[in-house]
Structure 1
Amino acid sequence: MSTDQPQSIAPEALPEVVTGFLAAHRAHDTAAALGFLRPDATVTDDGRTYRGAPAIEAWMNRSAGEYTYTTELTGAQRADAEHYVATHHLEGDFPGGAVDLHYRFRLGGGLIEDLRIEP
């Protein structure tokens, strides 16, 4: 991420590409979510990195059915024009039952170039 210190922002101040991706991801609409990603994007989740649309699509389809959970956007940060963090609180039937996850976005060319999901 950028060397700038991230600043808290209102979740509605996140870029449309970020909020659109999050809404599609939450709705398990893989096709719509992929539309917010560069074709060569990378997603890192649970220690695994997925590169390119086919790998990301497979990850999204697999993760959509793995557990049942609710998610709530609880915070947002902006480091610079290309780096944003959206914090979500998840509760469900996954190990541990509850977790706060940070979705760290790097944008490029108006789309998501890199996404890292981590506690």
Structure 2
Amino acid sequence: MSLTTQSRTLPMAIVTYLERSASAKPASARATFTENAVVVDDGKTYTGEAAIAAWLAGSAAEFEYTTTQLRVEKDETATTVVNRVEGNFPGRSVDLNYRFELDADSGLIQALTISI
């Protein structure tokens, strides 16, 4: 994934997550989450370090894909990054909403919800 002008204005934890999760070592994205973070993806909830690390490793191994950032939306509680994901999965292309809620003290991700 290449950084756009828009992504350079994103908080560092979000930029780092997006880069690392699409890299050859997606499990390294775990460092962008708080200890008790919650991820909701594909109807499943992953809570805490071990569950999120397993989710990161599993989701990357399942398919090969590329990601293109389409837009960023912000509100008072969250930042949503909309990415087009294209790859060797059913449907071959989908626009996903990554809704990030950050911890005010650490700046790390405390909640991530991925949806269509």
TM-score calculated relative to the size of structure 1: 0.86
Q: Which has the higher contact order (CA 8 A, sep 6+)?
A: 1
In structure 2, C-alpha distance between the alignment counterparts of 1:66 and 1:31, rounded to whole Å: 14
Where does residue 73 of structure 1 map in the other structure? 69
Q: Any gaps of 5 or more consecutive residues in structure 1?
A: 1-8
Deviation string 1:50-89 (CA, Å, 9 cap, x unpaired) is 0001001111111111011111111111113x41001110
1:14 aligns with 2:10: yes
In structure 2, C-alpha distance between the alignment counterparts of 1:106 and 1:83, rounded to whole Å: 5
Deviation string 1:26-59 (CA, Å, 9 cap, x unpaired) is 1143453111100100111101000001001111
In structure 1, C-alpha distance between the alignment counterparts of 2:25 and 2:32, rounded to whole Å: 12
Where does residue 111 of structure 2 map in the other structure? 114
| Matched position secondary structure for 1:54 | helix
* Identical-pair percentage: 36
Structure 1 stretches of 4+ with a deviation exceeding 6 A read: none
Q: How many residues align?
A: 110
TM-score calculated relative to the size of structure 2: 0.88
Where does residue 60 of structure 2 map in the other structure? 64
CA RMSD, Structure 1 to Structure 2 (Å): 1.5
